């Protein structure tokens, strides 16, 4: 097998060697002339294309130079227009900022008035709440939700309502000041950006082809990710101006509201103070009348207690008196059980003795039942006596709380009939609150 392959290789190698040893081919004279002519034609064509390219290049240079000058001139005009536009908006923002600053300063004054008004309501509210706390020390049935408590609660509600109204108004004022400052911040930030943009565009507008600081920059055609359109730019500044106008108008309306709130709340407090005082006087009159009636009933109950105690003594003596007959009957029955033999007979005497024991036991049970009832009634009378005494103490406690503590404390309230309760200057007047 191997020898066959070797023979095949030898047969293939001999023709290849013969071709390598042959001389290169020779061309004909006609072929030589054609080749020279082709070279001349190609050179002429190449030269013509080059001349046309030179002429076209000159025209292109002239055209591009003209276009560049025109483009640069157009850019300068656009930069000039842009500068005018920025200056216009900068002036608008400056005007709105000045107006907003004045409005905020006024609101700060009104904020102080409201804070003083709230502070001046604390003492009247403390007095009312103290009266309610005193009256919480009433005990028993007197811890009632009566007219006095209702009016005190209403008085506290009126004061707290005024305080809540003032607090809400103060919160609105504080929030409006915050909104004003937010709008002011946006205006100042916009103005700062406008100033920087104006400076940059001024520099750009002053540049020319002979400026010393001009240079190439890498990736100059990039679009910044945070860049905005012209419409967005206009909307941004216009929105800041509109917000500033809105907050300034809101500030003016809020000032009117504060004036009205401070001038309308003292009358309700004055009226409620008089209503509470009247309720206290009426309540004291009613409580004293109830105390006197309870005292009358206490005297009658004490008389009945003495009578029932005598009745208990009589019943106890009657029960004690039944012990002798009962012992005699028991002794007789016990003794007769010792009779001998047939003499232990259930005779008439035996039956009568048994009947006597039963009668005495029944009588004693009735007496004890009646005694128990008497003790129950006596306990009931004693409890009623204690209850009446406690109730009288309850009434005395209530009278002390209402008359000595509350009425005396309420005398320190400055507001009384005839006092002025008009508009509160610089906040809530301390002498205009009950």
- For residues 290 and 146, the answer to whether their CB atoms sit within 8 Å is no
Kindly report the number of other CB atoms within 10 A of residue 172's CB atom. Answer: 16
- The tens place of each residue's pLDDT in the chain, 434 residues long, gives 445 555 555 554 555 555 555 666 777 888 778 888 888 888 888 888 888 888 888 888 888 888 888 888 888 888 888 889 889 989 999 999 999 999 999 999 999 999 998 888 888 899 999 999 999 999 888 889 999 999 999 999 999 999 999 999 999 999 999 999 999 999 999 899 889 888 888 888 787 888 888 777 777 667 778 777 878 888 888 998 999 999 999 999 999 999 988 888 777 888 888 999 999 999 999 999 999 999 999 899 888 888 888 888 888 888 888 778 777 777 777 777 788 877 777 777 777 777 877 887 887 888 788 888 888 888 888 888 898 898 999 999 999 999 999 999 988 876 544 444 444 444 444 344 44
pLDDT (0 to 100) of residue 4? 56
* CA atoms of 102 and 404, how far apart (whole Å): 54
* CA atoms of 86 and 262, how far apart (whole Å): 45
SS3 content of the chain, % helix, strand, coil (to 5): 85, 0, 15
By the 10 Å C-beta count (0-12 exposed, 13-18 middle, 19+ buried), 312 is classed as: middle
Q: What is the pLDDT of residues 18-73, one digit of tens each?
A: 555 566 677 788 877 888 888 888 888 888 888 888 888 888 888 888 888 888 88
DSSP 341: G
Tell me the backbone φ, ψ of residue 46, rounded to 5 degrees: -65, -40
pLDDT (0 to 100) of residue 27? 77
DSSP 141: G
Distance of CA 285 to the CA centre of its chain: 45
Q: Show the CA angle centred on residue 359, arms to residues 358 and 363, nearest 5°.
A: 115
Tell me the backbone φ, ψ of residue 316, rounded to 5 degrees: -65, -40
- For residues 329 and 357, the answer to whether their CB atoms sit within 8 Å is yes
**What global pTM score does this model have?**
0.60
What's the first-to-final CA gap in the chain, in angstroms?
134
- For residues 319 and 364, the answer to whether their CB atoms sit within 8 Å is yes
* CA atoms of 265 and 365, how far apart (whole Å): 77
Tell me the backbone φ, ψ of residue 424, rounded to 5 degrees: -85, 120
* CA atoms of 287 and 146, how far apart (whole Å): 11
- For residues 151 and 402, the answer to whether their CB atoms sit within 8 Å is no
Spatial neighbors of 117 by CB under 8 A, at least 6 apart, are: 166, 262, 424, 427, 428
- For residues 287 and 147, the answer to whether their CB atoms sit within 8 Å is no
């Amino acid at each position: 097998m191997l020898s066959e392959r070797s023979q095949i290789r030898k047969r293939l190698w001999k023709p290849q060697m013969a071709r390598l040893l042959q001389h290169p081919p020779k061309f004909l004279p006609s072929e030589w002339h054609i080749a020279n002519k082709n070279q001349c034609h190609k050179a002429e064509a190449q030269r013509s294309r080059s001349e046309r390219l030179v002429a076209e290049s000159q025209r292109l240079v002239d055209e591009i130079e003209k276009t560049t000058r025109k483009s640069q001139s157009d850019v300068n005009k656009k930069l000039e227009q842009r500068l005018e536009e920025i200056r216009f908006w900068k002036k608008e923002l400056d005007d709105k900022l000045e107006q907003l600053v004045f409005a905020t300063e006024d609101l700060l004054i009104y904020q102080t008035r409201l804070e003083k008004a709230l502070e001046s309501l604390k003492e009247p509210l403390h007095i009312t709440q103290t009266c309610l706390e005193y009256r919480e020390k009433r005990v028993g049935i007197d811890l009632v939700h009566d007219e006095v408590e209702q009016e005190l609660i209403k008085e506290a509600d009126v004061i707290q309502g005024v305080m809540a109204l003032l607090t809400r108004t103060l919160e609105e004022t504080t929030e409006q000041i915050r909104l004003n400052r937010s709008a002011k911040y946006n205006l100042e930030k916009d103005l700062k950006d406008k100033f920087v943009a104006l400076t940059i565009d001024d520099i750009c507008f002053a540049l020319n082809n002979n400026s010393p600081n001009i240079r190439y920059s890498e990736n100059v055609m990039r679009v910044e990710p945070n860049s905005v359109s012209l419409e967005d730019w206009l909307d941004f500044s216009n929105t800041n101006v509109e917000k500033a106008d809105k907050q300034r108008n809101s500030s003016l309306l809020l000032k009117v509201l504060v004036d009205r709130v401070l001038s309308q709340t003292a009358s309700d407090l004055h009226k409620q103070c008089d209503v509470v005082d009247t309720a206290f006087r009426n309540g004291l009159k009613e409580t004293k009348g109830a105390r006197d009636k309870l005292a009358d009933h206490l005297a009658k109950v004490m008389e009945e207690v003495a009578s029932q105690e005598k009745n208990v003594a009589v019943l106890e003596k009657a029960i004690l008196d039944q012990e002798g007959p009962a012992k005699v009957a028991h002794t007789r029955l016990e003794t007769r059980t010792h009779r001998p033999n047939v003499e232990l007979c259930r005779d008439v005497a035996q039956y009568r003795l048994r009947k006597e024991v039963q009668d005495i036991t029944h009588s004693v049970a009735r007496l004890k039942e009646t005694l128990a009832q008497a003790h129950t009634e006596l306990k009931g009378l004693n409890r009623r006596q204690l209850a009446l005494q406690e109730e009288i103490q309850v009434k005395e406690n209530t009278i002390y709380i209402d008359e000595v503590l509350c009425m005396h404390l309420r005398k320190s309230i400055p507001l009384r009939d005839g006092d002025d309760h008009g508009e509160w200057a610089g906040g809530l007047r301390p002498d205009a609150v009950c």
